């Protein structure tokens, strides 16, 4: 009996929405990366993009635990000698919250063409408004990512 491998035309993609308000960044990002990869589906195939689309709203209200806001650094390079720039993750969350969330999810995806293809299905917005209502996104319940308000 041959091994089943889904065809590209057989892959059905759903749309999910995540409200990041009060959620811990890393725990939310692992669940989002799992859905983008398609590991939640029974027909998951490592060499194909079988994942769904994910919309993250309220990225500016995501929470970092411990001293990651000051201790964890974000690096980028201009391509020129001496062009390495660094900033704290807290500063990136204040100035560009959508980019901070996108970078975190990107780090949890494969580092190849397939990972870049999966990342294109991620839409991140700093506020509660998004332009994807026509896709009728379903709320994604993030089980492992308790909010900081529940802990207190």
The CA distance from 19 to 38, in Å, is: 20
User: In terms of pTM, does the model score above 0.85?
Assistant: yes
Query: Which of 61, 53, 69 shows the shortest CA–CA distance to 20?
Result: 61
What is the predicted pLDDT for the residue at 132? 96
- CATH code, residues 14-151: 3.90.1180.10
The structure tokens listed for 106 are 């990107």
Domain ranges of the chain: 14-151
3-state secondary structure of 53: strand
106 C-beta neighbours (distance < 10 Å), count: 17
Provide φ and ψ at 76, rounded to 5°. Answer: -150, 155
Question: pLDDT truncated to tens, each residue of the chain (152 aa)?
Answer: 898 889 999 999 999 999 999 999 999 999 999 999 999 999 999 999 999 999 999 999 999 999 999 999 999 999 999 999 999 999 999 999 999 999 999 999 999 999 999 999 999 999 999 999 999 999 999 875 555 555 55
**Strand spans (E) along the chain:** 15-19, 53-57, 73-77, 84-88, 122-124, 138-139
Rounded to 5 degrees, φ, ψ at 109 are -105, 165
Q: What are phi and psi of 63, to 5 degrees?
A: -115, 140
Q: pLDDT at position 142, please?
A: 87
């Amino acid at each position: 009996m041959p091994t089943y491998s889904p065809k590209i035309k057989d892959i059905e993609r759903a749309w999910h929405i995540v409200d990041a308000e009060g959620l811990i960044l890393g725990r939310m990002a692992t669940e989002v990366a799992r859905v983008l990869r398609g590991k939640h589906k029974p027909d998951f195939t490592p060499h194909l993009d079988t994942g769904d689309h994910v919309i993250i709203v309220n990225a500016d209200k995501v929470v970092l635990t411990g001293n990651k806001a000051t201790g964890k650094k974000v690096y980028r390079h201009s391509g020129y000698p001496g062009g390495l720039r660094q900033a704290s993750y807290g500063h990136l969350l204040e100035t560009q919250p959508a980019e901070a969330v996108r970078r975190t999810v990107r780090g949890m995806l494969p580092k190849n063409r397939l990972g870049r293809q999966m990342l294109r299905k991620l839409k991140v917005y700093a506020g509660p408004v998004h332009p994807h209502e026509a896709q009728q996104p379903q709320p994604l319940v993030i089980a492992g990512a308790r909010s900081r308000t529940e802990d207190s």
